[in-house]
Structure 1
């Protein structure tokens, strides 16, 4: 499987950098996944390295489209979310070009990208009802307060300062701290959002906020699958684009989730 960045004009007035992962062997009506990569809201440019998690989703039979949300100055709220929503709208309109007119749409993201994916799922519920069949959130950064018990381990993997700085950059204004699209874990209305697959690990500093969000989604009547990998599975390598056995877990969990929500 190979992937490379290309400019796609979903909107005639503006082209967007997208990297497409396609293993070339999939169903006649393959799912299309809009993927948002992590980076603690601090990427300065589209990453040259491919996202291992995006490859894992493609290995499950989907066509994965990773979108570049912009550089250092642009990757803030609400601009990043608005660009993601514009791409989602574009993919929905022209999905025949990449899969088929009946291809199911999913949103996925890891870490900071998981935050944008969760916010995008909420915005899609409000403005594009029924368009998104599911959301795949891989250790999403969804709690700007960083107050969970497991977050104490962030220093162990060298992420506390990076995440704290990333939140400050992304929100950049106190008025966004409680915005439901910016901090999904603080959203008071989760009913009707797309079914969710959430993944984390026992030794993941973001474990507690992921688990808490899973419970809140479930309480709101949202179909939820929470998968917590065991310690030592290499899951935290997701923050460094490191491969490992956890990729098989992502592939298998997505395959099962996709099969369930589309049948």
Structure 2
């Protein structure tokens, strides 16, 4: 069944409704993960994409219940509004987790590109305000460094993303304090201990490779359990930024299943 955007109110009646898309094959086990997924769009998407997000669909095919939230569209792509709305949705999803999964379903947050930034920020906020509830975070080439000074980012022009990412950061960080807030730019966070375990993925020809791996290294140095995977150049990974499917999706599916298995122990 095709996943369609729908307005949904989750949690208390006072909670502001959110636009979400549900991916649910209905055949998962009582321990199947419940995943809040955040798509990309460089904080600039003007409208919700009509096509399904390939990664969200694939995670559901792996047996997860996946709720994709509209977090980087025109209505909510500014810090801190985007992060606060997403955290509220995660907390509400956690409160009714048994409705969508089972009694032992782990709660996860996942995101790609701009959505990966928000996922990382929400994971930090969850560590601070709902400790122990978020079991894992999945970061697929997250936008983490608003200064855009890594070595690999120089290749962004080759795939037509340099200006888009620069403009996206300017839009997201309209508030002057955003640049220095750890929830807005997780790569600048100096307190990473006890954040949820992470699966971090990128590719050798990915312009966001260096900041992605740098964050993975800092998480590991803080004692966080981290699984990192770097796909080889030419794997088609940068199709992630164009909502394109490719063989790299199989690698994401395998890494996700393996990561979830580690959370059971």
TM-score band by shorter chain is: over 0.9
Aligned counterpart, 2:195: 193
Distance 2:139 2:156 in 1: 19
Aligned counterpart, 2:13: 12
- Shift in Å, 1:70: 6.2
Aligned counterpart, 1:176: 178
Aligned counterpart, 1:79: 81
TM-score in terms of structure 1 length: 0.97
- Shift in Å, 1:23: 2.2
Q: How many residues matched?
A: 263
Q: Answer with 95-104 or 115-124: which moved more.
A: 95-104
Q: Secondary structure at the match of 1:177?
A: helix
Which runs of 4 or more aligned residues in structure 1 lie more than 2 Å from their structure 2 counterparts after TM superposition?
A: none
Alignment of 1:37-186 (within 5 A): 37-69=39-71, 71-186=73-188
Deviation by residue 1:16-46 (Cα, 9 ceiling, x = unmatched): 1111111232212311000000000011222
Distance 1:70 1:219 in 2: 30
Distance 2:107 2:175 in 1: 32
Structure 2 residue 231 is the aligned partner of structure 1 residue 247: no
Gap change, CA 1:73 and 1:66, over 3 Å in 2 = closer
Does the 8 Å CA contact 2:30/2:104 hold for their aligned counterparts?
no
Does the 8 Å CA contact 1:27/1:61 hold for their aligned counterparts?
yes
Aligned counterpart, 2:208: 206
Distance 1:71 1:165 in 2: 14
After superposition, the CA RMSD in angstroms is 1.1
- Shift in Å, 1:100: 2.0
Does the 8 Å CA contact 1:38/1:113 hold for their aligned counterparts?
yes
Contiguous gaps of at least 5 residues in structure 1: none
Does the 8 Å CA contact 1:8/1:17 hold for their aligned counterparts?
yes
Distance 1:73 1:17 in 2: 11
Distance 2:104 2:19 in 1: 24
- Shift in Å, 1:73: 4.6
Q: Answer with 96-105 or 216-225: which moved more.
A: 96-105
